[in-house]
Structure 1
Amino acid sequence: MYNFLQRLGRSLMLPVAVLPAAAIIIGIANVLKAMNTAPTVAEFIFQCGLAVLEQLGLLFAIGVALGMAKKNDGSVALAAVVGYFVVTSVLKPEKLAGILRIKEDAINIGFDQMNNQNVFVGLLIGLIAAFCYNKFSATELPTALSFFSGKRLVPIMTAFLSVLLSLVLFFVWPFVYDGIVAFGKWIINFGPFGAFLYGVFNRLLIPTGLHHALNAVFWFDLGGINDIAKFQSGDGAIKGITGRYMAGFFPVMMFGVPAAALAMYQTAVSKQKKRVAGLMLAGSISAFFVGVTEPIEFAFMFAAPVLFVIHALLTGLSLFIAALFHWTAGFSFSAGLIDFLLSLVNPVSNYPLMLMVQGIVFFVIYYVVFRAAIQIFNLNTPGRGDEEIADPVADPSESDENSAKPAGKYSAMSAQIIDGLGGKENITTLTNCATRLRLEVDDIEKLNKNQIKQAGAAGVTTSGKHNVQVIIGTHVQQVADEVEKQMES
C-alpha cells in the first residue's frame, strides 16, 4: 500500500507540471487587461490559458495512467481518455435527466461536477487505465480476435470497466461529493488556523510523496476550494481569501529554504564548505526561482529530522500569517519567483508584495533558528560529522572529445548510481518525479548509500524491502534517461 500511494503521489506531478503553461498565458492576458489595451486580444489569450485549466480532470487521468502503468506507453494514455469520456459523458445532469426521465433540476448538484475539471474522477480513471495496461497489454486473444490482442485490448477493457465505474458513481457520487464538500468547508471554517494545519502536514508528508494527494484537496476541486483554478481564472474567486492555501508558501520557498541552506553552509566544517556551497547554491536557486525545494529539504530531513519538523512548523506559520492578514498570491506549479511575478498582475492577488516583506522576515527566522539548532544540538547536516561530502568521482569521459555531449555529462554519475544500487541486475523498476529517481530493487542489502551520494546525489531514502529514492534535483530527468540507457545497454 505504501508503494502504491508513493507512486500515485509521483504520478500527480505529471499533470501539475503542465499548469505553468496556463499560468504564463493567463499572466500575459492579465498584463494586457491591466494596461487596458487590446481588450479583444487580451480576452482571446485569457481563454487560451483557461482552456488548460478546464481540462484538469482529463490531464490527471492521463498523468495517473502513465505514472501507474508499468511503462509510459501511449496506449494507456488513450485508454485514460476513453474511460474519462465514458464516465463524464453519461453522468452529466442532462444525460441523467433523460435516462431517468425526470427534470434536470431534480438531479443531485454533485453531478454538475462531472466535467473535464473533475480531478477525483480523473484519478479513478487513471488507476483503471493503468490496471488494464498492466493486466492486459500482453494478453493474446484467440485467432479470430487476435487483432484486438495486446495493447489494443487496453482501451477496450478500460471502456468496459468505466461503464461499471459509472454505475457505481451513479449511486455513490452524491454521498462522496457531499462528504468532500463538508470536509472542505470544515477546513475553511478554521480560517487561518486551517491554513496552518495544511502547511504543516504538507511538509511532513514530503518524505512519503503523499503531499501531492493532500494538495489535491485544497488546490483542486475535490472539496470546493479549487484554489489554483479560481485564482488563475478569477471564476468564483474571493479577493483576500482565494489563494490562502498557496500564498504562505512564497516566503518559505523563496526566502526560508535558501536561508536554511545558508545556515547549513556556514555551519559546515571549513574543509567541506566549498563542496557544500555547490549543493546549497544550486538548491537555493531552484527554490527561489521555481519553488522546487526538495534538493535542500532532502539534504537534512533524514540527517537532522528535528530541522525538518521545525521547517514544517515554520511553513504552517507562514501560511497562517498570510491567511490572517489576507495577503494572497498564487501559482500554477510552485511558489517561486516566476509564479510570483505572474501573480502581481493577477487581479485576484491581495497585497502580494507584503509576502516579500514576510519573506525577508522569514529569511532571518529560518537562518537564526536553523543555525542555532545545528550548533546547539550538533546536528549532522551536509558537511558535518557523518554527512561530510566525499570528493566527486572523476568522469573519465571529460578528456574525451565527446564529453561535451549531454549524455557524457551524466555518464559517470549514472554508472556510479547503478553500482551503488547493486548493479543493473538488482534494479527491477525505474521511474522519476520532479527531483527524485524512484526505484524498486531485488535486494536492498546491496545498496551502498555512500557510493550513490559520492556520485552527486543529494540523498538516498529507503522504505520497505524494495523501494529506494535517490534525490537528484531538477536535472533528474537527464540522469534517469542516462541510467535507463546504461541499464539497457
Structure 2
Amino acid sequence: MNILSYLQKVGRALMVPVAILPAAAILMGIGYWIDPNSWGASNALAALLLKSGSAIIDHMSVLFAIGVAYGMSKDKDGAAALTGYVGFLVVTTLCSPAAVSMIQKIPLDQVPAAFGKIENQFVGIVVGVISAEVYNRFSHVELPRALSFFSGRRLVPILVSFLMIFVSFILMYIWPVVFDGLVNFGEHIQKLGSAGAGIYAFFNRILIPVGLHHALNSVFWFDVAGINDIPNFLGGAQSIETGKGIVGITGRYQAGFFPIMMFGLPGAALAIYHCARPENRAKVAGIMIAAAFASFFTGITEPLEFSFMFVAPVLYVLHAALTGISVFIAASMHWISGFGFSAGLVDMALQSRNPLATQWYMLIPQGLVFFVIYYVVFRFTIKKFNLMTPGRELSVAGDESDGYDTSVDHSGKGESEAESLARRYISSVGGSDNLTGIDACITRLRLNVKDSAEVNDAVAKRLGASGVIRLNKQSVQIIVGTRAETIASAMKTVLAKGPVAASAPAVSGAAPTAQPQAVSNASKGIIATLVAPVSGEVVAIEHVPDEAFASKAVGDGLAIQPTDKTVVAPIAGTIVKIFNTNHAFCLESDNGVEIVVHMGLDTVALGGKGFSRLVEEGAVVTAGQPVLEMDLDFLNANARSMISPVVVSNIDDFAGVNLLASGSVVAGETKLFEIKG
C-alpha cells in the first residue's frame, strides 16, 4: 500500500471521532452566545452547554487515538479501541510537564512549554495508527499454556503500553525542538506585515493535522512575540490605553478567517455533497450539513477539515492556500476583526461591538466570494482527479468502515438486500450450527463448516451461485461473483443477530434468482478486446490448478504465469473492487463487461504481503494503466501458485470469447482475447 492509500485509510478511520465533533461545537457556540462576557460564570445554562461541548472538544486528541485504532483494526473490535486509549494515556502521562520534570531531573518551571501541548491531534493519530498496527499483527498470537490468559486481544494493550514508553522517550527530545522551531518561525513571519499574515494563516491550516498550529497561534495571539492579536472583547478601550491594542494592526492575523470558516468551508461541504454518488448523498448530507453549520455558527472547522484532509490531501493544501489568501486580503484592506473562541457567526456578532474592529462588515461580502471560490475549486478538483471524498467510495452493505449500520432487527425482517441474501446462503450451507468460519476471495465465499455434506448445492445455485466446491469435509467454496466480500460481510452481520436454521433439502424459501440470458445470435460481434494485464506465459484456463477457475465457474478467459511485477488494466473502465489484500481486482468497462484479474491462487492467505495497489476503488483507468505492483520473489516463494486467471465474470451476458494469445505476452500490449457480443 502506498503512502497516499495509507493516508486515505487513516482518513476513513478518522470519520468515527469526527462525526461527534459538530454536536460539541454547536453546544459550545450556543453557550458562548448566551454568556459572551464570562463564558458561563454568570449563567447556569451557558455553563452547562459550554462544559458539555468542551468535554468533547477538549479531549479531541484522545478521541482520535481511540477512533483511529478502532477504525484501522482489521475486525473493528473494541479491544483495538481500548489499546488506542491505553497507548494515549502512557504517552501523554510520560510526556506531561510533571513527568518530564521527574524523569529528566529538572525543576518543573524549567520544563519546556512544548510539553504543555503534548495532548494534541498529532499524538492522538500517531498513537491510534501504532495501536491498530500492533492489534492487527498480534491480536491472534497464542502464548504458552501458563500465560494463555494473556493471549490474543488481551496481549495487545500490554505490548502497546511497553511500546509507548519508547515512543515517549523519542518525543521527549523531538517535541520541544519542533515546537520551538515553529515559535521562531512565527516570530520571523510576524515582521512581514500583511504578507506575513497570509503566510501565517497558510501554515496555521497546514499544521492542524498534526496539532502544531498551537505553536504558531501562541506567537500571534498570546503575547509570545510581544503582540496581542485578540481585541480583548468588550474591553477594547482598555486594550488601547495599555498600548497592547493598535487600531489597524491588532486583529489582522484573525480577520481573514471569518470568510473561510463562515462561508468558504460550507461551500466546500456543498461541493463534496454534489460530488458524492447519488446513492450516498443522503448519508453525506447529514454529515456535511452538521459540519457546515458548526463551521458557520461556531467557527469550529475540524469536522469538515478532517473529512477530507487525509482522503484528499490536495484539497486540504488548496484550503490552506485559500485561507492564506483570505487573511492577506483582509489585512491588506484593513478589514480588522478578532475572535475569542473561533471565527464563526457568534464571534462576528460579538466583536461588532468592539472598538478595535475596523470595517468588519466587509468580511461578509468577502466571505460570499470565497463561498463561490471554494465550491468551484473543490468541485472541479474532486471531479478532475477523481478524489475519494466522503460519499464517492463504492458502498458495501454491512461494511462498518463507512460508518453506516444497515442492520435493523434480529428477525430477518427489514434487512438490507445483502443481509437477506446472506441469510439464505447461511441456510444453504446447513445453517449457523454447521457454519464455523466465513471468509471471501474476490469471487467466492470461503467457508469452514462442520460437515460439507450438509451444504445444499441446489439451494446455493438458486440464490445465484455458479458453483460449489468441496475442498475437504470442513472447507467449502461457493462461487458468487464479485459480490463475494459483500455477502461474506453481511453473513457475519446476520450471524451476530442470532442463529439461522438450515434450509430444507432441495428447497429454498427464496424466490429463484433470475439468471442472465445470453444475447441473441443476431447481436453477435466483437464488443471488446483485452490486453494482457501482466507480462508472462499464457496458461489455458482449463489448466489452472483451481477447480473454480478451471471449470469456468468464475468466468471464461485465460491465465498468465507472470514474469514481471506490474499489473495493468486489461481494458479501459472503472475499478469497481480491489480486494483488501490487494491480490485481485474487478474492472467494469463502459459497455458492461466485468473483468476479474486474480493474481495467483489462494494468495488471499498471504494477508496482502507481496502486493500493493497503485489506484483506488472507483478510479477510471485506461487499458495498460498500472493498477497493482507485486514482489514476485516473495510471491513465488510463498504463494501456492502464481498462475493468474483473467476472466469475464459476466460471460453469460455475452456470446463467449475468442482467444488470441499464446506463449509469451507483454503487459498492456499483447491482445489476450476478444469478447463476442
Task: Report how far residue 80 of structure 1 moved.
Answer: 1.6
Aligned-partner SS, 2:616: strand
Task: Report how far residue 59 of structure 1 moved.
Answer: 1.7
Q: Which residue of 2 aligns with 1:171?
A: 173
1:357 to 346, 365, 370: 365
Task: Report how far residue 138 of structure 1 moved.
Answer: 0.7
Q: Which residue of 1 aligns with 2:23?
A: 21
Deviations 1:215-272 (A, max 9, x none): 425x765534389x99xxxxx982433475574253334458869999x9xxxxxxxx
Do structure 1's residue 223 and structure 2's residue 215 form an aligned pair?
yes
Amino acid at match of 2:60: L
Task: Report how far residue 314 of structure 1 moved.
Answer: 6.2
2:588 to 448, 461, 469: 448
Choose 1 or 2 for highest CA Rg.
2
Task: Report how far residue 170 of structure 1 moved.
Answer: 2.4
Q: Which residue of 1 aligns with 2:126?
A: 124
Q: Which residue of 1 aligns with 2:106?
A: 102
Distance 1:178 1:47, change over 3 A: same
Aligned-partner SS, 1:468: coil
C-alpha separation in 2, matches of 1:200 and 1:44: 35
Q: Which residue of 2 aligns with 1:407?
A: 416
Do structure 1's residue 144 and structure 2's residue 152 form an aligned pair?
no
Maintained 8 Å contact 2:337/2:351: no
Deviations 1:121-173 (A, max 9, x none): 22222122112201111110110111111111111111010111222222333
Amino acid at match of 2:482: G
User: Where does 1:203-222 land on structure 2 (aligned, <5 Å)?
Assistant: 215-217=208-210, 221=213
1:88 to 88, 92, 106: 92
Q: Which residue of 2 aligns with 1:468?
A: 616
C-alpha separation in 2, matches of 1:172 and 1:201: 20
Q: Which residue of 1 aligns with 2:548?
A: none
Q: How many residues align?
A: 378
Deviations 1:333-362 (A, max 9, x none): xxxxxx955555666997876444224445
Aligned-partner SS, 2:35: helix
1:250 to 239, 262, 282: 262
C-alpha separation in 2, matches of 1:313 and 1:111: 29
Q: Which residue of 2 aligns with 1:238?
A: 230
Maintained 8 Å contact 2:198/2:324: yes
Do structure 1's residue 423 and structure 2's residue 487 form an aligned pair?
no
Maintained 8 Å contact 2:262/2:345: no
Amino acid at match of 2:93: S
Task: Report how far residue 113 of structure 1 moved.
Answer: 2.3
Q: Which runs of 5+ in 1 are unaligned?
A: 203-210, 231-235, 265-275, 333-338, 374-379, 382-401, 413-417, 431-436, 453-463, 472-489
Task: Report how far residue 75 of structure 1 moved.
Answer: 1.0
C-alpha separation in 1, matches of 2:126 and 2:377: 43
Whichever structure has more helix as a proportion of its residues is 1
C-alpha separation in 1, matches of 2:57 and 2:189: 24
User: Where does 1:245-394 land on structure 2 (aligned, <5 Å)?
Assistant: 245=257, 247-254=259-266, 290-291=291-292, 317-318=325-326, 320-322=328-330, 324=332, 325-326=335-336, 340-344=344-348, 354-362=362-370
Task: Report how far residue 74 of structure 1 moved.
Answer: 1.2
C-alpha separation in 2, matches of 1:245 and 1:101: 42
C-alpha separation in 1, matches of 2:283 and 2:62: 34
Q: Which residue of 2 aligns with 1:55?
A: 59
Aligned-partner SS, 1:2: helix
C-alpha separation in 2, matches of 1:370 and 1:91: 39
Maintained 8 Å contact 2:73/2:132: yes
Distance 1:29 1:5, change over 3 A: same
Task: Report how far residue 406 of structure 1 moved.
Answer: 7.8
Amino acid at match of 1:468: E
Question: Which one is further off, 247-256 or 86-95?
Answer: 247-256
C-alpha separation in 2, matches of 1:103 and 1:368: 54
Whichever structure has more strand as a proportion of its residues is 2
Q: Which residue of 1 aligns with 2:75?
A: 71
Amino acid at match of 1:251: F
C-alpha separation in 1, matches of 2:340 and 2:590: 39
Maintained 8 Å contact 1:200/1:315: yes
Higher relative contact order (CA 8 A, sep 6+): 1
Q: Which runs of 5+ in 2 are unaligned?
A: 223-227, 232-250, 293-302, 385-410, 422-441, 444-480, 490-576, 593-611, 620-677
Amino acid at match of 1:407: S
Task: Report how far residue 443 of structure 1 moved.
Answer: 5.9
Deviations 1:10-61 (A, max 9, x none): 3334333322232122122112214999524423432332232321221221
C-alpha separation in 2, matches of 1:449 and 1:341: 48
Do structure 1's residue 42 and structure 2's residue 46 form an aligned pair?
yes
C-alpha separation in 2, matches of 1:126 and 1:41: 35
C-alpha separation in 2, matches of 1:310 and 1:123: 22
Q: Which residue of 2 aligns with 1:457?
A: none
C-alpha separation in 2, matches of 1:164 and 1:68: 22
Amino acid at match of 2:416: A
Question: Which one is further off, 170-179 or 280-289?
Answer: 280-289
The alignment's C-alpha RMSD in Å is 5.7
Aligned-partner SS, 1:71: coil
C-alpha separation in 2, matches of 1:448 and 1:61: 38
C-alpha separation in 2, matches of 1:254 and 1:440: 33
Deviations 1:181-227 (A, max 9, x none): 4455566666655676798899xxxxxxxx9x75425x765534389
